[in-house]
Copies of this chain bind each other. A is one copy, B any other.
Amino acid sequence: MSSPAPEASYTFLGPEGTFTEAALLQVPGADVARRVPAPTVNAALDLVRNGSVDAAMVPIENSVEGGVSATLDAISQGEPLRIIREVLVPITFVLVAKPEIRLNDVQTISTHGHAWAQCQLWITQNIPGAEYMPGSSTAAAAVGLLEKDCPYDAAICSPFVAERLGLPVLGSHIGDVADAVTRFILVSRPDVLPEPTGADKTTLVIPLPEDHPGALMEILDQFAARGVNLSRIESRPTGQFLGDYFFSIDAEGHIADARVADALKGLHRISPHLRFLGSYARADRREHSVARHTSDEAFRAARIWVESLQQND
């Protein structure tokens, strides 16, 4: 089936005005749907699990900081969830300030820790003495400037929020990396499977069956033997004790593709507790070439050949 209908309801890692809400607004119909901000990723996912909303938009990775651990772990455990969409949002930061403040006056800046980390070059060059005051989000830091007795002078946030709040912008494009992008995922209950589009991604959580040299190879071989490329892999501690871990993996292709389905069968045999977190369209729409011998047609021909041999008598 397809994505949730326009009348669907959503939650997102709030507050309003964050990059996460910007990601949600890219989902068709989300602009007119009910949108509930949630204080944490876990809180957002719980709203999905208990049926309060249809889906949650949460951050999963950014091109500067790598995977967002809390989200990865939250969807890997507990009641099953399903990733149904991936959204990329370009990360552009601006420095906004209280109305009366000029760049030279800025002494204290608030923003989310990740945003602060990503603007260090500009800060060091332009306001080297500025002090950092942690904020729970970029949007919250910007909103704070409107409050009386705000303990800081300026905030780093998205242009989107700066415009919405009408705050003066003291610096634009202040991020260290010109083309930084954040990746978000839309998460629903596990009764949804998006149609294949030809440029899809499949996310899996695979417990390591045994800890010996080559155990990881055996897992990866299940992909390689079917010509399935990986676009992300992370070993993750299980939370029980160091050394006991699982793999969080993004593979190219859709479970409706024969080569992906066949790889999943092989993985199930060697790690029966693996978790399928969804097949969904790649946000970058990049198609991957499929070798002739890993095409659906090659799998179909192989199956027919073996079955004809088995039914020989």
Residues of A within 8 A of B (CB): 1, 39-40, 42, 61, 63-67, 69-70, 72-73, 88, 113, 117, 120, 132-136, 177, 179-181, 183, 190-193, 209, 211-214, 216-217, 220-225, 227-237, 239-243, 245, 255-256, 261, 264-266, 268-270, 272, 276, 284, 286, 293-294, 298-299, 301-303, 305-306, 309-310, 312-313
Contacts and interface: CB of A to CB of B under 8 A. Distances in A.
Given A227-B213, A302-B265, A302-B266, A242 B65 contact: no
Contact of A193 (B88, B227, B301, B312): B312
A233 B213 contact: no
Given A265-B303, A270-B293, A293-B269, A213 B231 contact: no
Nearest to A112: B134
A241 B284 CA distance: 11
Counting chain B CB atoms within 10 Å of each CB, which of A135, A229, A309 scores highest? A309
A123 to B, nearest CB: 11
Given A64-B239, A66-B73, A193-B312, 20 more contacts: A40-B117, A42-B120, A63-B241, A63-B242, A65-B73, A67-B67, A67-B69, A190-B312, A213-B227, A213-B229, A217-B217, A233-B235, A234-B234, A234-B235, A242-B284, A255-B306, A264-B309, A265-B303, A266-B302, A269-B301
Contacts of A309: 193, 255, 264, 276
Contact of A216 (B181, B230, B234, B310): B230
- Secondary structure at chain A's binding surface: helix, strand, loop or mixed? mixed
A180 B302 CA distance: 34
A204 to B, nearest CB: 11
A9 B179 CA distance: 38
A196 to B, nearest CB: 11
Contacts of A261: 306, 310
A266 to B, nearest CB: 7
Given A132-B39, A213-B224, A229-B212, A63 B239 contact: yes
A134 to B, nearest CB: 4
B233 A216 contact: yes
A310 to B, nearest CB: 6
A232 to B, nearest CB: 5
B284 A269 contact: no
A161 B67 CA distance: 30
A290 to B, nearest CB: 10
Contact of A268 (B63, B231, B306): B306
Contacts of A313: 1, 191-193
A301 B271 CA distance: 12
A255 B209 CA distance: 27
